[in-house]
Amino acid sequence: MSRPLAQLLLLSLLPGTGCALIGMSRDDSNFTRKPVSADQIAEFENDAPVRKILRLNTSNVTTLATDQRIRSLIWQELDESGLMSPEDRRRLNQSGIRVGVAGSTLPWALTSLLSGERVQSTSSSNERLANSRQADGSMVFGARLVLPEGSNSLIEIPSSGDNLLIPAGHIAGLKHGAELQNARCMFHVSSAEIGDGWVVLKFLPQIHYGGMSVRYSLAESGEQLPVRQRIQPLYEQQFELKLHTGETAVIGYQKQDDWSVGQLMFQRESLSSLNEQVVTIELAAVEAIQGQKSVTVRYSKY
């Protein structure tokens, strides 16, 4: 047989053989089914994603600016020096903002404020529990926040809802000053880092003002059109704070001779009195929420 004729014969046989190999039926008998071991199931379930959440207890206390508890006594028993660098603390103080942290045992003055007691001023600030008290004194508001990892929340500082007058040259975004209608002061709170029983929280003061309407904004999840007011962020007054479980952050007013952001946020003046506020944030718990996997799910249904 000649060589060209032999090649032609081989080529004529290839389609039939090739089709038989490729078109082999995929019968279940061709596959070996082995039972899944308990160790494999445990490894599969333990590989589920874990997301941490923060449980925060917040409170806002309003009392007279002449009340020595809010002006000086609570700060005597709070840690202010170990929270941040001296430069950051000095920057906040010059803006009229004071930050401290209390351990699991709160100072008596802070406990008294949070319980809504009114302590009349006396000649001696050391006469603590001997001072006269009235149950209808200070106003206290509070909320419990659940902050998942990667999310944020707002802590509002209650106000009368009146217009806020901003002097020129004090806020970077409002160099020429402004009168903001229906203004409210907020703390935008998010987590910078979460560990086992501790968290680094980021605080960005904001002023929300104007009417409520649909406004374009950007978020981690994409573009959004929420119904909200205009927002003036105060980037020069933002700061970070590390809290352990059971500790309480205290944010209040640092008295300054000139007008300050702290005065705008924490003081309210009426015809009869000058009130001052303080905000507390307790880290109640850091929890890890683990997702669940199942080896019985039939994904062909979805």
Beta-strand ranges (E) seen in the chain are 50-64, 97-102, 118-119, 133-134, 139-148, 152-157, 164-166, 178-180, 184-194, 198-214, 217-219, 222-224, 227-233, 239-244, 248-253, 267-269, 274-290
Partners of residue 199 on adjacent β-strands? 194, 243
Query: What are the CA-CA distances from residue 217 to residues 81, 117, 150, 230 (Å)?
Result: 37, 42, 17, 11
Q: What is the pLDDT of residues 196-233, one digit of tens each?
A: 999 999 999 999 988 877 666 655 555 556 777 889 99
**What is the reported pLDDT for 134?**
38
Cα–chain center distance at 2: 86
Q: Which residue, among 205, 236, 256, has the nearest Cα to 87 in the 3D structure? A: 236
CA distances to 15, 70, 114 from 122, rounded to whole Å, are: 106, 15, 20
R_g of the chain, CA atoms, integer Å = 32
C-alpha closest to that of 52 among 167, 192, 186, 180: 192
Token readout for 6 is 């032999």
Lookup result for tokens 């941490």: 52
The residue type of 132 is: S
Predicted pLDDT at 219: 55
Q: pLDDT at position 261, please?
A: 93
Instruction: Enumerate the domain spans of the chain.
Output: 50-123+133-289
The predicted-structure confidence for 236-280, as pLDDT tens digits, reads as follows: 999 999 999 999 999 999 999 899 999 999 998 877 888 999 999
What pLDDT does residue 202 have? Answer: 97
- Measured distance CA(285)–CA(57) in Å, rounded: 10
User: Which portions of the chain are predicted below pLDDT 70?
Assistant: 1-34, 36, 39-48, 118-138, 160-161, 214-225, 291-302
SS3 114: helix
- Is 111 buried (19+), middle (13-18) or exposed (0-12) by CB count in 10 A? middle
